[in-house]
Structure 1
Amino acid sequence: MLSQAFEKPVRVWVGLGFPRQLNTVADAYQFAVDWCGNSPEQKAAIRACKAALVGDVDPETARGVFVAFAHKKDILIEDGAIPPLAEKARLRHI
């Protein structure tokens, strides 16, 4: 079981809007396992990362599935993103 680095790290929001960078398949796998929930997207991310850890799929395939999970849960950090809670607070003051 060898964890390979992603070509580009995945950044996600954790807690109350703190960024976390996931650099490897193992990082993404652990994050998905620890995530509170049981959605189909989360299960798919766990399966894809597990498959990449044993060499059944390449790391970028697992990354894509994980990114889809993070996007669905609204925790994916895209370039120039504002933390979700900060964005909601900013919109209330406009």
Structure 2
Amino acid sequence: MNHDRFEEPVTVLVGMGLPVRLETVAEAYAMLQDWPAASRSSAHTIALNACKAGIAGEIDAETVRATLVAFARRHDILAPDMVFAGARSAGRARVHKQQWLKI
């Protein structure tokens, strides 16, 4: 079992609004390390420290994920999970088609 993997990935918008899916503590750490120094905040420091603790095995990946989500919300870069949203829409379309076929 991989203890540094998030149960659910976190998708953030980086650069010119490109979505990046973060699935592990190491990926979150790398993204936070690349964050511009001029834009760093206390939320960044907390998330970065959580990543370091997660890498060291001092806290679990879900605690790291929670701090990453808080950081992303604070900086307005948290993106909805488009794959999950698309799967939900496809499921609804199947239900509607099945209901229509019964008529």
TM-score, with structure 2 as normaliser:
0.71
C-alpha distance in 1 between matches for 2:18 and 2:24: 19
The equivalent of 1:14 in structure 2 is 14
Q: Which has the higher helix share?
A: 2
Aligned to 1:52, which of 51, 54, 76? 54
- Distance, in Å, in 2 between the alignment partners of 1:30 and 1:79 is 20
- State the shift of 1:15 in Å: 1.3
**Counterpart in the other structure of 1:42:** 44
Conservation of the 8 A alpha-carbon contact between 1:3 and 1:25: no
Q: Which residue of 2 aligns with 1:70?
A: 72
Distance in 1 separating the partners of 2:63 and 2:56:
13
Q: Residue 24 of structure 1 aligns with which residue?
A: 24
Amino acid at match of 1:75: I
Identify unmatched segments of 5+ residues in structure 2: 83-103
Q: Look at both structures and tell me which one has the larger radius of gyration over its CA atoms.
A: 2
How far apart are 1:79 and its partner, in Å? 4.4
Relative to the length of structure 1, the TM-score reads 0.78
Gaps of 5+ in 1: 81-94
CA root-mean-square deviation: 1.6
Equivalent pairs, count: 79
Structure 1 stretches of 4+ moved >2 Å: none
